[in-house]
Chains A and B, each alone.
Chain A
């Protein structure tokens, strides 16, 4: 018996988030920063789903393989799954808005480097 599934998933999700944070901090191109943000987002979703896993659980869909009586003992937690659907949609929305801001910046500054935006610097 090796590592539990949820722990592997947690480690994967957190690794993705670290890669995303590293990408956001080291790159100067706005598009790469947005890609880093998406990586953090995806990692977060994996972490959320992993916290819903119960040992030996299966998908919470009642059919021939999982009858209604044993659903409470053999299914995984459905709440994180439902939350992640919401989170994916919100992540998509934020990414779309960021991309359109990037296009807008490229139109006015003719560059995608974040160094060109010095007004909000401290």
Chain B
């Protein structure tokens, strides 16, 4: 009976979606807002990648809020998965001896691949203003490297203090760059506090690479904390 109901619900959704797809005609021109972004991001901010320009400068406050959401997720996952303090110590020993050790292939592979993963993450973070990439994407790449590290060495220590200090420092610097923008330029998180430089060069686009790097560090640290919480 419930299966029939589910089928009905899915079919109803399907009819709605189908009529949406059938009635959609591909856009032939951009909206005025999009044209504004496409002309003003390269001209005013000096960033070739328009999406990064929008994310970091025009919608910078939103991005800051997003990082705050990630921080809250890391905190609440820790709260939800924390072992009861009064209860018995975590049953890590039993699960550790029962679970198999990672194979030599994984361990050796991780040793070779990990530096490459981290370098690639740093590359993606630092080229966010020039090409496809940016803080969130690079941070996710770095966190996937941390995940590989945990797979290769499940009981290896991940230094929580170091991660939280890095993350908090990046957050504080991020907000202070935003306040500098309010003092020296047009508003909160305005990236024009640094010289725009030559268009398309590595050191260009004002404070965008700097904010991107801080964002990448913060996202990488937060995702690593979330992954590490799920391990225990």
Contact = CB atoms under 8 A, between A and B. Distances in A.
B42 A53 contact: no
A55 interface: yes
Nearest to A22: B10
B24 to A, nearest CB: 6
A113 to B, nearest CB: 14
Nearest to A24: B6
A75 B200 contact: no
Given A18-B17, A71-B38, A4 B26 contact: yes
The 6 closest A-B pairs by CB, nearest first: A25-B6, A14-B17, A60-B50, A4-B26, A100-B80, A62-B48
12 contacts: A11-B21, A14-B14, A22-B6, A54-B27, A60-B51, A61-B48, A61-B51, A68-B39, A78-B50, A85-B136, A93-B72, A97-B80
B149 interface: no
A78 B21 contact: no
Contact of B38 (A10, A75, A86, A100): A75
Nearest to A93: B73
Given A55-B27, A89-B70, 10 more contacts: A14-B14, A18-B17, A53-B26, A55-B28, A61-B49, A61-B131, A63-B131, A63-B200, A85-B134, A103-B230
A67 B3 CA distance: 55
B194 interface: no
Given A4-B26, A54-B28, A86 B37 contact: no
Interface residues of A, number: 45
Interface in A1-41: 4-7, 10-11, 14, 17-18, 21-22, 25-26
A75 B48 CA distance: 12
Interface of B is mostly: helix
B26 A18 contact: no
Contacts of A63: 48, 131, 200
A116 interface: no
Interface of B: 2-3, 5-6, 9-10, 13-14, 17-18, 20-21, 24-31, 33-35, 37-39, 42-43, 48-51, 54-55, 59, 62-63, 66, 69-70, 72-73, 76-77, 80-81, 130-132, 134, 136, 200, 226, 229-230
B33 A90 contact: no
A14 B10 CA distance: 11
Nearest to A70: B38
A72 interface: yes
Interface in A48-90: 51, 53-55, 59-63, 68, 71-72, 75, 77-79, 81-82, 85-86, 88-90
Contact of A100 (B3, B81, B134): B81
A103 B81 contact: yes
A103 B39 CA distance: 48
B13 A17 contact: yes
A78 to B, nearest CB: 4
A14 B14 CA distance: 8
B6 A89 contact: no
Contacts of B25: 4
B69 A90 contact: yes
